[in-house]
Amino acid sequence: MTLIHQKSRLKKPFLIVLIVFLSIFVVSFSIPEKEYRIYQFPKNKIPRIDGEFSDWAQVPESYTIGLDQLMDTRFGNGTNLNPKDFDISVKVGWVKDLNRLYFFLEMKDDYWDFDNPALGQDIFELVVDGNLSGGPFIKQHNGNKDIISLEELHFKGHGAHAQNYHIFTPVQNKEEVMIWGNTPWIKEFPHYNAAYDYNFKHSESGKLKMEFWITPFDHAAVEGFQVSTITKLKENDVIGLSWCFLDFDGEKCESFMNLAHDTKMIYDASYLNIFRLMPLEKQFVKAIDADWSFVEMDRNQRWFQFKDESIGNITKWHWDFGDGNSSNDQHPSHKYDKAGEWTVILTIEGPEGKSVRSKVWDVVTK
């Protein structure tokens, strides 16, 4: 959260002192070298955004990122954070071929602050840089700000190559998220969805649970989704990701606890943490499992290139192309003699057994 976020709360003399203080204070922190992990949900166990949360029980505790990983980089508390005042744990997940990041938060606060209609409330601030492009992405920190006005820079890359989400915890009488950028559309369904569970009122203590997904973008354009580029999430790839929590107690934001250990993470993607998109846990992986894909090389020649995408220790392949022809190559090429709708079957074998995958009428010739 930048200083401008707090203008409604702070007097100008105090702002000047705070600016000087921060210019000295934040540079003393370095980026943690720890690599964090993003849990891969099986496709038949995708978490539902319904406020019930049982879908997250499958995620091992080793994926949990707690208060002990955070540092207060604004108000001088360092890593000496008191869980009796505020506590948080976060799990992050993904699903192969579905370009979303899923989050599950459990938080306890001795004073939940959420009656302010603007930014003066408890906030989970999340920043994602899907392709590790790095660098500043907020207009106030654009290197051209002395040449181009902030008003004009707002529409020139402000929040484009990395995205900053201010997620209200909990939300009351306003949108669930403020996007610090020129792309408020990224907080709309189907790019974002959230569910909360809590039983407390403003100024009370209590526990809050929430789950949500976001869609990361390599480039989020002010013009909208149609001209933007979604991050393609791939197994074992790494992304830039970090978060902080702004703990308001009444009129005062008393701590700015962040995972990156550097306040610059909110506007410069070079300071985010590294997160790896993990493979499936072993219990969800078959010892041997047949799968395949194809590319139509030439429609007029009825020519197809097939690709084995099976997993396991495989020693034999057998392809049945559906027209009476077959192949024992791993990645065969085949030409059909006539028009038709073909059922193609791949059978694989290995020390762990045998697996079969047929696809009905995916392959069509004219």
Using one digit for the tens of pLDDT, what is the confidence trace for 188-239?
999 999 999 999 999 999 999 999 999 999 999 999 999 999 999 999 999 9
pLDDT of res. 23:
38
Is the bond leading into 32 cis (omega within 30 degrees of zero)? no
* pLDDT higher than 60, residue 109: yes
Identity (one letter) of the amino acid at 49? Answer: I
CA distances from 344 to 7, 38, 157, 288, 334 (A): 65, 35, 47, 19, 11
pLDDT of res. 32:
62
* pLDDT higher than 60, residue 16: no
**Is the separation of the CB atoms in 182 and 158 below 8 Å?**
yes
pTM of the model: 0.85
pLDDT of res. 252:
84
pLDDT of res. 250:
86
Percent of the chain scoring above 90 in pLDDT: 88
CATH fold match for the domains 3-280 and 286-365:
yes
| pLDDT tens per residue, range 284-319 | 999 999 999 999 999 999 999 999 999 999 999 999
> Under CATH, which architecture does the 3-280 domain have?
Sandwich (2.60)
215 vs 18: CA distance, rounded Å = 34
pLDDT of res. 10:
38
Q: Write down the domain spans for the chain.
A: 3-280, 286-365
Pick the CATH number of 286-365 from 2.60.40.10, 2.160.10.10, 2.40.50.140, 3.30.930.10: 2.60.40.10
